[in-house]
Chains A and B, each alone.
Chain A
Amino acid sequence: MTAVAPLFSDPYRQRFAEFMVRRREPDAIAKLRRAAFDRFDKGGLPTRQQEAWRLVDLSALQAMTWQRPGDAPVDTGILPTLDQTLAHRLVFVNGRFAPGLSRLRDLPSQTLVASLGQALLTHPELIEPHLDRLPGLKNHPFADLNTAFWEDGALIYLPRGTVVETPIHLIFHTTGDALAVHPRLLLVMEAQTQATVVVEYGGQGHYLNGPMAELALDNGAVLDYHQIQEEAPGAFHLGGIRLRQERASQAHLHLISLGGQLVRTDLEALLNGENANCHLNGLTLARDQQFSDIHVRVEHAQPHGISEQLFKSVLEDKAHTVFDGMIHVRQHAQKTDARQTSRNLLLSKQAHAQANPRLEILADDVKCGHGSSTGFLDPDAEFYLRTRGIPIGQARALLVHAFANDNLSRIRLTPLRERLARVLAGRLALDILDEEKEP
């Protein structure tokens, strides 16, 4: 059985050799790529014999021969917007920066929001010390594939004390069949900086998106990060996020998963400084035969850290979701306050949700808790609404909306929150969703 995996490395080897021939980049980066590819080559694509991939059926992915993407025309009308003409907007088509679709506004001095591919030529000194340097996702095949094969992506660099108030909107659009793209995001926030970032993944066709984001927050940095996964119905999305937080930094990560055929996101957060604050807010809407899997590891390395995880999924039809969440508190990380909640709402008897909350606590003076629940809509609540005249379909939609809105209401970026509320309402065929306002 285990002999199967290495076979699939062969086309990857060939692809990697071809890829490297054309690269012109600093040796240090080429070295990272080779090291990552060697790791991938050794292990191959994950198999279900590996615990972390036990529930993931990659056979459809393994059967594909992936092509290196070419350029493709994109109808700009299908790209998501934030309704904010002021947003910094970087569009990547098939993994490459599309300057014609992008719009960069004025930024504070020395701040950089740019194509990572271009920045590698112009500002290698900003990239080399940070790329692939964060801990976490070691020996993760898709993280390694990304490090080996990334062509482009975004670099966001905020020098000490910089506040970028305008949201930075990164759109990764993939279009075509049998393509594999590996966009990279490198976010470096020096001390006392602040930024709001929205990353959107979408596309058309049957492709593999294997994105990787690295988020480094120095002392006191404040980040609002949103990842909206709305890949094409036939797409594979296998991505990773590394987050490292130094002293008193605050990270709010919102992970919204809507699309794709097979979706897996691995997130590893390291709270590496005292009083770091990490809030993870995840919502998955899955239907048809979608498989959506999220693996989270939050590691408290220093005292007085706070982490909070709220992961929910709403499942229809034969959808299958997995949440695997680990809180690890090191011995030194006293006074840690770590919470994790995972809730799944099943709208179909054929849907399947799995939750695997885990705690590893080595410190003795901490507050840690986790809770997990999976269930159908509350029949008493449904009956209650109906006795007030609300038709059954609307009653159910209201209850689902209430369940999911708990996550959406945590998104502070109003145009994004409202857009997601409309997406949710569209899924639920709910026609009266205006937020109640007093006249």
Chain B
Amino acid sequence: MLEIRNLHVTVEGREILKGIDLAIQPGETHAIMGPNGSGKSTLANVIAGREGYTVTQGEILFEGKNLLEMSPENRACEGLFLAFQYPVEIPGVANLYFLKAAVNAVRKYRGEPPVDAMDFWELVHERMELVKMDDSMLKRSVNEGFSGGEKKRNEVFQMAVLQPRFAVMDETDSGLDIDALKVVADGVNALRNPERGFLVITHYQRLLDYIVPDQVHVLFNGKIARSGGKELALELEEQGYALYNEEPGRARRAAA
């Protein structure tokens, strides 16, 4: 459902992604691991359509459509979701109001009427339980004054309400203690189904104990240095990225 072919991306003239190939099928969860500066967040941002990233080569297809030609909002309406590494605080916009605006924007795109108020209320409450969110968080401004854990739960909550077909989780584990991590992972796992795909981006293997991926890719220096099963994450945990850093040749040999 998501296919990335030979993706090259520059930021302010510097090449960050140097030829990424990745294919994720419906129902699959892939993990991208890599050290800081390897290009993980660039990949997430390019998929979501943030400005400031120039694709110099390659393409991204989502359900067969050219994703790079779509605005960020149309990507979302097509069923793509990005859980932010740093969710943005939006003072003055109530969480619930924002969610309803988002749900209705997606419905409008699909030619559906605005959501019924009661249906929406029920959906919201059902999904709040998924991430153990408090009622008061609905009335508060989007992410304003939220703790790190609350922000990440709010991302998963939004995903649960919007029900995308494909979600990119950008370092959803950063800044979380183990309890919050479990809550977030449980929320994600509850949303996994045979139609939905996930790309989980993380620095550490810890998250993958809870969100168990079908495939793991190691992103290093703008390229996928290695791909494998979930056991690859454990290997990385033990050996670290130093292997790739110090001796690229050895990494290749290890992959062979």
In this assembly, does A386 line the interface, its C-beta being within 8 Å of a C-beta of chain B?
yes
Which single member of A386, A406, A439 contacts B71 (CB below 8 Å)? A386
Binding site for B on A (CB under 8 A): 378-381, 383-392, 394-395, 398-399, 401-403, 405-406, 432, 436, 438-439
Interface pair B100/A436, CB less than 8 Å apart? yes
CB distance from A389 to the nearest CB of B (A): 4
CA A379 – CA B50 in complex, angstroms?
10
In this assembly, does B98 line the interface, its C-beta being within 8 Å of a C-beta of chain A?
yes
The segment from B57-65, B84-92, B200-208 found at the interface with A is B84-92
The contact sample of 7 A-B pairs, CB cut-off 8 A, is: A384-B87, A385-B98, A386-B49, A388-B98, A389-B109, A436-B94, A438-B121
Interface pair B50/A383, CB less than 8 Å apart? yes
Interface pair B102/A436, CB less than 8 Å apart? no
**Assuming the A-B contacts A384-B87, A386-B71, A389-B106, are A394 and B101 also in contact, with contact meaning beta carbons closer than 8 angstroms in the complex?**
yes
Per-residue contact bits, chain B 116-129, to A (CB 8 Å; 1 contact, 0 not): 01100100000000
Q: Chain B residues near A392: list those with CB within 8 A.
A: 71, 73
In this assembly, does B72 line the interface, its C-beta being within 8 Å of a C-beta of chain A?
yes
Per-residue contact bits, chain B 161-184, to A (CB 8 Å; 1 contact, 0 not): 010000000000000000000000
Among A383, A385, A388, A406, max chain B CB count under 10 A is at: A388
How many chain B residues touch A (Cβ–Cβ < 8 Å)? 38
Residue of A nearest to B80 (CB): A387
In this assembly, does B82 line the interface, its C-beta being within 8 Å of a C-beta of chain A?
yes
Q: A384-B87, A398-B98, A401-B92 are in contact. List 7 more A-B contacts (CB 8 A).
A: A380-B88, A381-B89, A384-B88, A386-B76, A388-B105, A389-B73, A389-B103
CA A87 – CA B71 in complex, angstroms?
50
CA A18 – CA B76 in complex, angstroms?
70
Q: Chain A residues near B106: list those with CB within 8 A.
A: 389
Interface pair B73/A391, CB less than 8 Å apart? yes
Main secondary structure of the interface of B (DSSP, over half): helix
Q: Chain A residues near B48: list those with CB within 8 A.
A: 387
Q: Chain B residues near A403: list those with CB within 8 A.
A: 92
- Ranked nearest first, the 10 interchain pairs of A and B with the lowest CB-CB distance are A402-B92, A389-B76, A388-B102, A386-B72, A384-B88, A389-B105, A389-B106, A386-B73, A402-B93, A390-B105
Residue of A nearest to B106 (CB): A389
CB distance from B135 to the nearest CB of A (A): 9
Per-residue contact bits, chain B 99-143, to A (CB 8 Å; 1 contact, 0 not): 011111110010000000110010000000000000000000100
Which single member of A394, A399, A405 contacts B105 (CB below 8 Å)? A394
CB distance from A76 to the nearest CB of B (A): 36
Interface pair A402/B91, CB less than 8 Å apart? yes
Q: Chain A residues near B97: list those with CB within 8 A.
A: 436
